[in-house]
A and B are shown apart, each in its own frame.
Chain A
Amino acid sequence: AQSVTQPDIHITVSEGASLELRCNYSYGATPYLFWYVQSPGQGLQLLLKYFSGDTLVQGIKGFEAEFKRSQSSFNLRKPSVHWSDAAEYFCAVEGFGNEKLTFGTGTRLTIIP
């Protein structure tokens, strides 16, 4: 069965600093990988996704993520965070022949001035 681990429950970053959110997955083959963001009281918004090809994917709002097969990781990065990036971030995996998303437990991001 597929699974996702987000080891950081809560991260605090200063505005303008760089950000990396960790995500590790467990799956027998290369899965489809996603990062979603959820602002308070809002639904989930897709930031970016990896299906195949270039392992560095660009998303919306200046985010990027890198798929590393050897580490079973799909970490999310942003070079300079903005106060509006404060939200909860979810990594998700979708396996081949299994169309449901399996989510990590999420990482809550706090931005300080």
Chain B
Amino acid sequence: GAGVSQSPSNKVTEKGKDVELRCDPISGHTALYWYRQSLGQGLEFLIYFQGNSAPDKSGLPSDRFSAERTGGSVSTLTIQRTQQEDSAVYLCASSAGIRETQYFGPGTRLLVL
């Protein structure tokens, strides 16, 4: 596709449930990022994938959060046992490589009740 796509666009879940958020990067982009945007914390980095290298997980807030990137393309961010403080917009971005411009998707708005 022409840009980064994310699904679902909105997700409402109950506290304690697991959720999966999907990101389709721009075709050919080797780097993929996840960020979170919340009222209290602003925009914060979660995790970064570059090619076949081990991901940079330094921004993940707890071990309930994990992400994988299959075949160097699509990525899934999984949040286990969701908490109300996980409510936020989860943004995915991709870039053509290291130190290239990051292009963002429209985000997934997650609401944990």
Contacts and interface: CB of A to CB of B under 8 A. Distances in A.
B91 A43 contact: yes
Interface of B: 4, 31, 33, 35, 42-45, 48, 50, 56, 58-59, 91, 93, 98-99, 101-107
Contacts, number: 47
Identify the interface centre among B31, B44, B102, B105: most chain A CB within 10 Å of its CB: B102
Nearest to A102: B45
B103 to A, nearest CB: 7
Given A99-B50, A100-B33, A100-B56, A46 B45 contact: no
Which range holds the interface residue count of chain A?
Answer: 20 to 34
Contacts of A70: none
Instruction: Summarize B's interface: helix, strand, loop or mixed.
Output: strand
A43 B56 contact: no
B107 A43 contact: yes
Given A43-B91, A44-B91, A105-B42, A100 B59 contact: yes
A43 B106 contact: yes
Interface of A: 32, 34, 36, 42-46, 49, 51, 90, 94, 99-106
